[in-house]
Amino acid sequence: MFVHHLIYQGMADAIAFRGVNNVTYAQLQEEVAKYRTYFYQIGIRSGDNIGLFSRNSVEYVCSYMAIASLGAVVVPFNFQLTCREIAYIVKDACMKHIVTAEPLNIAEELHRYGYRQEVRQSLISDIKQQISQIGEMTPSFDNRLQEDQPCVIIYTSGTTGNPKGAVLSHKNLVANAGGLQKVLDISAQDNVLCVLPMYHCFAWTCAVLNPLLCGASITVLEAFAPKEALAAIKDYGVTVMYGVPPIYNLLTRVGTPEDLQGIRLLVSGGASLPENVARQFRQKYGKTVTEGYGLSEASPVVTLNPAGKTKFCSIGKALPGLEVRVVNSKGETLPPGEVGELIVKGHTVMQGYFNLPLETSLALRDGWLYTGDLAYQDTEDYLFIVDRLKDMIISNGENIYPREIEELLHSYPGIIEAAVVGQADELRGQAVCAYIVMAPDQAFDKKALKAYLQGNLAAYKMPRDFVAVDALPKNQTGKILKRVLRDQFTKDANDARVG
């Protein structure tokens, strides 16, 4: 099955998109066919890499499916990127076309990169006008396609160096949507809230592809705002919600149990869900948030807690059809309870990084994807993420896992968010630094916080510095950008020396 076939899984008169203006599956199919015809007429062909720049919308879905149906490859853009960052991806992916919700002023940046290829920008608003006049439709190209053909290139967030493009095939994406279905059992009676950005494959696979595969409905919101999201959940009868930890953290402080009364399933991903947030959410709403884990290179979902059998702080078990292992630096499988790197194998694993053979060879070894995440497995095969391998702090030769300290900080009264990073230290190699966001009505008492931690942490794990901030830097999926914190700390330290 190809990705664009998923729009044919629902009953023709069933609602595919539920909102102010409902869209049935039949209407969706007709619209995608018009988009495909338009894209073919402007010269988009199989194998072309096509940029897609837009916030969440039904038009985004139509554009994506139409591009994929031609055998072209979708390259979604994070709509928060600057012109320089967009231009880098355009050049790296060798683009000739961009489908966009707004004009992108990237000509100067492309020139700086030495990219001389003309890049045509097709505005979605113009496309909608043009397709209303389309008569005869361009036929399907399915007989020319293969399931292993690339469907999308997901550029990583670029937290270290330039972003890399993970190449995912039709088979990768459809397999992940199917594996997810075997665990979650979404049905045609469900309405799934898509509030996370569609350019990220967490939202795309979980809140778009999987519901379409099941013939379910989708309610699309452009972005998360508590008041609007809670109203949409109630007004449109949302039954399934995918979110990131900051969303669930915020919902513990706003809303009422009645607001989420109709939801039967809540799933968290994108970053680790602090235990204290999970417990507070369940205490307030009487509902358990199911935590999962994934990465773009695996389409993205790798593990998920089984329905009704959630373990706090666990990312659950591997999806059906995937193999996972926890290994040491030699690639040897570790016994339960021992921390090592999590690796995964299966039909959802990417083909590689676009035009980066060396990086691909480092990430993919003997068919296994090396995730760069440190984890351990218990005797019931539940997995627990300890930290990112690159975020582990080594102080005086001791391994320190930031998440352990962050969990303690989250349990301290008044702290609503926390991030722990390692900073260069001449004596110890690295020292621990904690960034803290306090609740608006709570004062930061450094002395009391240190006393609390000293009673719960070994001395070598104690943060040397505590920094109270108004907010932590995050990407669109709620992942804290620790590189930004490390860079800011270094800048502040340098400024202090100069001063």
DSSP 1-42: --GGGGGGSS-TTSEEE-SSS-EEHHHHHHHHHHHHHHHHHT
Lowest mean per-residue pLDDT among 9-18, 226-235, 468-477? 468-477
Question: Would you state the pLDDT for residue 475?
Answer: 80
Do 7-145 and 392-498 show the same overall fold?
A: no
- For residue 144, give the amino acid letter: R
CA angle 479, 482, 484 (to 5 degrees): 110
Going by C-alpha positions, the residue among 338, 343, 340 that lies closest to residue 328 is 340
Higher-confidence residue of 104 and 394: namely 104
Question: Would you state the pLDDT for residue 458?
Answer: 84
Going by C-alpha positions, the residue among 404, 408, 418, 483 that lies closest to residue 249 is 418
Summarize pLDDT for 386-403 with one digit per residue, the tens: 988 888 898 877 888 888
In CATH terms, 177-388 corresponds, of 3.40.50.12780, 3.30.70.360, 1.10.10.10, 3.40.50.970, to 3.40.50.12780
Query: Taking 50 as the threshold, does the pLDDT of residue 265 lie above it?
Result: yes
Higher-confidence residue of 338 and 274: namely 338
Question: Would you state the pLDDT for residue 157?
Answer: 63
Query: Taking 80 as the threshold, does the pLDDT of residue 494 lie above it?
Result: no
- For residue 35, give the amino acid letter: Y
Query: Taking 60 as the threshold, does the pLDDT of residue 316 lie above it?
Result: yes
**Would you state the CATH architecture of domain 392-498?**
2-Layer Sandwich (3.30)
Confidence of residue 101 (pLDDT cuts 50, 70, 90): very high
Question: Would you state the pLDDT for residue 159?
Answer: 43
Confidence of residue 490 (pLDDT cuts 50, 70, 90): low
Evaluated on CA atoms 411, 415, 418, 424, the torsion sign reads negative
Task: Give the integer Cα–Cα distance in Å for 401 and 245.
Answer: 19
Evaluated on CA atoms 478, 479, 485, 488, the torsion sign reads negative
For residue 172, give the H/E element and its range.
helix 170-184
Using alpha carbons, list the distances in angstroms from residue 190 to 154, 211, 424, 492: 28, 8, 50, 50
- For residue 23, give the amino acid letter: V
Strand-pairing partners, residue 302, are none
Q: Which residues lie closer than 8 Å to 31 by C-beta, 6 or more apart?
A: 23, 58, 62, 131
Residues 364-379, mean pLDDT to the nearest whole number: 96
Question: Would you state the pLDDT for residue 487?
Answer: 81
Question: Would you state the pLDDT for residue 496?
Answer: 44
Task: Give me the residue spans of the domains in the chain.
Answer: 7-145, 177-388, 392-498
Q: Which long-range contacts (CB under 8 A, 24 or more apart) does 110-116 make?
A: 112/87, 113/87, 113/88, 115/87, 115/90, 115/91
Fold of 7-145: Rossmann fold (3.40.50)
Name the most confidently modeled range: 357-366, 420-429, 479-488. 357-366
Residues 87-98, mean pLDDT to the nearest whole number: 97
Question: Would you state the pLDDT for residue 392?
Answer: 84
DSSP, collapsed to helix, strand or coil, labels residue 452 as: helix
Burial of 421 (0-12, 13-18, 19+ CB in 10 A): buried
Burial of 481 (0-12, 13-18, 19+ CB in 10 A): middle
Residues 148-161, mean pLDDT to the nearest whole number: 80
Question: Would you state the pLDDT for residue 161?
Answer: 62
Whole-model pTM? 0.87
Question: Phi and psi for 460 in degrees, rounded to 5?
Answer: -70, -15
pLDDT above 90 coverage of the chain, percent: 79
Residues 248-258, mean pLDDT to the nearest whole number: 92
Query: Taking 50 as the threshold, does the pLDDT of residue 75 lie above it?
Result: yes
